[in-house]
Amino acid sequence: MANARETVQPTHAPEPASAAPLLSIRGLGSHYGPIAALRDVSLSVGRQQLIALVGANGAGKTTLLRTISGVQKATSGRIEFDGEDITALRADKRVRLGICQVPEGRRVFGPLSVEDNLRLGAYCRTDKHAIAEDLGRMYAMFPILKEKAKSPAGTLSGGQQQMLAIARALMGSPRLLLLDEPSMGLAPLLVEEIFNAITELRKQAMTILLVEQNAHAALAIADQAYVIESGEVVLSGSGKELLENERVREAYLGI
């Protein structure tokens, strides 16, 4: 496995192609105290698709991902994953179903080693052999993580921490990968590397919901995209359509 720099093996079994969406959200609302952070949000994520979510700071993108992950409570509406209602399901059980999130700001477990971080990503899994295999795949995908396997995660650079955060989520063997601002605060070269990794995952038919402030990069690789403003979905379409949309170009692409 050490010499593996040939095409990285798929990190997961692709979703069977099916017309029914993997994730379907209807009329979702969420509040912080009395303040509505999400209002009547409806969207769906098709299998093997990359869906991008763009919007300004504070528009509710992160809240939406947190509500999907179950760490933020839905106050109305319904979330269905693979046809199952998960609106009230506890967060750790959603991870067991295969919803894995790379949180905003990376949030690696700083004092724990890189390898421990990865193993904790597989916390819900019991198939030791497959976990060891996936660990090898992560090291092949991000060789720097192998080099630093024994270092505390907190000593990694920002870009390395982001790779670790992505690899940690992948260790959960996701059926749906939620990525929250993976390029935030990174140098342009690292942004490119992170987007290469996302594109690679997409080629492997991973289902991805991507939240990005870097709207151009996100829309360029998205199958479908949603624009969210003040907690509401205001626009949706294919990534290409939105890239050409006048309103999106003005508000988010600075053109």
Instruction: Output 83 or 111, the one with its CB closest to other proteins.
Output: 111
Beta carbon of residue 57, minimum distance to other proteins (angstroms, whole number)? 18
Beta carbon of residue 23, minimum distance to other proteins (angstroms, whole number)? 16
Beta carbon of residue 248, minimum distance to other proteins (angstroms, whole number)? 29
Instruction: Output 206 or 225, the one with its CB closest to other proteins.
Output: 206
Instruction: Output 151 or 236, the one with its CB closest to other proteins.
Output: 151
DSSP 151: S
Q: How is residue 167 written in tokens? A: 């690899």
Footprint of other proteins on this chain (CB under 8 A)?
69-71, 90-92, 95-96, 100-101, 103, 107-112, 116, 119-121, 123-124, 152, 154-158, 168-169, 172
Instruction: Output 151 or 213, the one with its CB closest to other proteins.
Output: 151
User: In the chain, what's the furthest Cα-to-Cα distance?
Assistant: 55
> Under 8 Å CB-to-CB from 124, ≥6 apart: which residues?
92, 95, 96, 172
Beta carbon of residue 105, minimum distance to other proteins (angstroms, whole number)? 9
**Helices (runs of H) and strands (runs of E) counted in the chain:** 10, 10
Q: How is residue 187 written in tokens? A: 């140098």
CA distance 137 to 116: 16
Instruction: Output 8 or 71, the one with its CB closest to other proteins.
Output: 71
Instruction: Output 25 or 171, the one with its CB closest to other proteins.
Output: 171
Beta carbon of residue 66, minimum distance to other proteins (angstroms, whole number)? 8
Strands ordered across the beta sheet of 84-85: 35-45, 23-32, 76-81, 84-85
Q: Is-contact 85 78, C-beta < 8 A?
A: yes
Beta carbon of residue 113, minimum distance to other proteins (angstroms, whole number)? 9
One DSSP character per residue, 70-99 reads: TSS--SEEEEEETTEE-TT--HHHHHHHTE
Beta carbon of residue 171, minimum distance to other proteins (angstroms, whole number)? 9
CA distance 126 to 250: 49
Return the residue matching tokens 């999907």.
Answer: 68
Instruction: Output 27 or 185, the one with its CB closest to other proteins.
Output: 185
Residue length of the chain = 255
Q: Is-contact 207 15, C-beta < 8 A?
A: yes
